[in-house]
Amino acid sequence: MENERKELFGAWIQASGTTLAAIGSTPLKNFTESQLTSFNLWGNELQALGNALIADSEVLITMEKIGNQIQAAGNLTVIAGIILPVEDVTGQELDIRGNLMQALGGSAALTDTLGEKRSAESLYNIYGNLLQIIGNSMQAIAGIIELRGRDGDNINTAGSWIQAAGSVIQALGSTRDHLDETG
């Protein structure tokens, strides 16, 4: 039971992080650039923590466990691009790589879910994971567009919110699964 609670807690921490990072990726006039960067930083820190908790809740080595570990490493790569004193291009490249790692991790975790018996909970996880993979991929594409000197802000913002929606859907699926098991 303890691992199920850890997974549920991790799912909601991750969902909180993706939402906070999406706010940080949205060009809002009420916040300074520094504040938006802080939202993005804290959001990725929460995502890394949530992914690590979900991975730790898996007793056996599974693709889901490995996928969540890869996603956490992706979040840490994004964080490195934000906090390390590197040139803008290097920071952007770290962000791109981090988002691609998150998409790869989500894809690895999805393989386990696709092998499960279909239920409402598994559908939440499938759709939530797919949205996160799509969102992370869009953010990476936006970064590549930026490196080429064009504006990728709209794609990045959309990708961030798609990822956030996916993580909330996945957390709802984990909640539903937990409630079904505990009554």
The domain segmentation of the chain, as residue ranges, is 2-182
Indicate the pLDDT class of residue 98, thresholds 50, 70 and 90: very high
Mean pLDDT of the chain: 96
pTM value is 0.96
| Residue scoring higher pLDDT (13 or 178) | 13
| Residue scoring higher pLDDT (67 or 112) | 67
Distances, alpha carbon 45 to alpha carbons 89, 159, 176, in Å: 22, 18, 25
Residue 111: is its pLDDT beyond 70? yes
Residue 181: is its pLDDT beyond 90? no
pLDDT given at position 116: 87
pLDDT given at position 1: 59
How many C-beta atoms lie closer than 10 Å to residue 144's C-beta? 15
| Mean pLDDT for the stretch of residues 77-83 | 98
pLDDT given at position 10: 98
| Mean pLDDT for the stretch of residues 6-11 | 97
Q: What is the pLDDT of residues 134-172, one digit of tens each?
A: 999 999 999 999 999 999 999 999 999 999 999 999 999
Q: Which residues of 145-160 are buried (b: 16+ CB within 10 A; e: fewer)?
A: bbeeeeebeebbbbbb
> Which of 139, 115, 120, 124 lies closest to 47, judged by CA?
139
